Structure 1
């Protein structure tokens, strides 16, 4: 069926959603960029393309679409199947806990567990259980910032903090600049290009946040096209996935203030990390999708003296 045929035959949002689900299932697409099934991915693509709330499908299902809207959906459904790009690249937007960020192929599609943790800790009226008190945090840094989403969320939750954000990719930092401007946090967030802590000139922080590349080479070689569409450097964690994590752990103490700590996402690397660093006190944080993909470690556990 051509795009013109789809535009003529399908009229409601429900029609286009159902059609997208069928096309995605038939094509054997892969997911994991904010959605986990064909049903969810089709809903995201249809709703976000029409600038509708991505969590509110039901109220709009029987809405009749304008010809231009039908053409747009037909084009994007076809592109999702033919290019195998994540739907977020097709709409140019991604979300963390409902907060919208611009994305394109210069950055990985944001989906860090750390976003959920920041909301759970700092959006909790009872206050944080292990992260530093937001009222006393004066400085934070996001290492491997990518699109800048975690640095921006940190700025929103830590209104008194200056937030640095570092990435090696100049392209990624261009996307981060778009998001910093869109969220009006330019007075708080400073972007730096460089390798991990290298551009920070001995600065110290109350909070380090990092979601570094942590995928091992065996997993990278098995990636489906949706993941291969993202920048390879945003995934590549070395032979066993922990190359950058090791470097960050080695350097973190020199950049932490007493009473602070580091929140780090490492995917499936817990057994390797604990075997290699048996004397470090990692606190593993459970999220909706994983029990041990993110750890918290205090400055004191890393040897920082008060």
Structure 2
């Protein structure tokens, strides 16, 4: 993936490389959505990450001149993004949720759950006293990012982080260790609740696979680069969500709450479960893509 000497000589500053990468990404019609929404945002994230600069501070560095080695490194990353079509977070092994950095690679989906945003204020819409939360379950933990954020949001809680993928749990273990939370976050290999016995929790959070089979089949390369297991939710996307709804009550304390991200499935769920009092939670970037349900409401679905 070498670039001609002319390119390396012509593109000297971060501003030069930002313009060049944005042009190349637009020209090649890349697809975004893994933490960025535009070619400019993707270029900025890739460049700042590669240079170990704060990803939310572009302006101070725009006129900074880069060394030859730095320019060669950026040239390789730009071409790699185009040739492999892998999301930028895989190329720099980093993803961010609300100011928190997590290690990622192709063993896990690139973290971008809206639950992460809600955890910033301790899920205040459904959790009245964060200090009173003692046990949290993160189903389908993937990279472990939500489990880490939950441990930070609920300082008195022990967190169980569950995933069916042993490879994903390896990544999660790295992130848990990076935050020094090994004594509070326990990783468990399990098909949803299967390996949890009779353990009960004050809060269950989950960002399960919820993409329809047809949508997965039509994925662009950027999304195909992620583990299919982390996306595929069956014909209508709700296979795992139904299983979670059916079994969550068994694992919730009397005043416990379930919070699940389901994408655009609100109508499907409200039609199928007309008696459930779904509380739909909005975030800065989403509307009605997450629901909360109290343990009492879920009792009627116990299997």
Q: TM-score range by the shorter chain?
A: over 0.9
User: What is the Cα deviation at residue 300 of structure 1?
Assistant: 1.6
Deviation at 1:288, TM superposition (A): 1.8
Give the 5 Å matches for 1:213-292: 213-292=209-288
Counterpart contact for 1:140–1:164, Cα < 8 Å: yes
Of stretches 225-234 and 285-294 in structure 1, the one that deviates more from structure 2 is: 285-294
Does the CA contact (< 8 Å) of 1:262 and 1:296 recur in 2?
yes
Pick aligned residue for 1:147 from 135, 140, 143:
143
Provide Cα deviations, 1:85-124, integer angstroms capped at 9, x if missing partner: 00000000000001000000000000000001111445xx
Structural RMSD (CA): 1.2
Shift of 1:200: 0.8
TM-score computed with the length of structure 2 as normaliser: 0.96
Partner residue, 1:45: 46
For 2:112, the equivalent position in structure 1 comes to: 111
Structure 1 spans left out of the alignment, 5+ residues: 123-127
1:170 aligned residue: 166
Match of 2:179 among 176, 183, 195: 183
1:3 to partner: Cα distance: 5.0
Question: How far off is 1:259 after superposition?
Answer: 1.0
Query: Is the 1:48–1:54 Cα contact (8 Å) retained in structure 2?
Result: yes
Going from structure 1 to structure 2, the CA distance change for 1:3 and 1:159 (only over 3 Å counts) comes to farther
CA-to-aligned-CA distance 1:220-274 (integer Å, 9 cap, x gap): 1211000000000000000000000000000000000011101100011111111
The structural deviation recorded for 1:289 is 2.0
Number of positions where the alignment pairs a residue of Structure 1 with one of Structure 2:
299
Contact 2:122 2:153 (C-alpha < 8 Å) held by counterparts: no
Runs of 4+ aligned structure 1 residues displaced above 4 Å come to none
Give the conservation status (yes or no) of the 8 Å contact 1:3–1:71. no
Give the SS at the match of 1:199. coil
Instruction: List gaps (5 residues or longer) in structure 2.
Output: none
Separation (CA, whole Å) in 2 of partners of 1:232 and 1:28: 23
Partner secondary structure for residue 280 of structure 1: coil
Q: Scaled by the length of structure 1, what TM-score is found?
A: 0.95
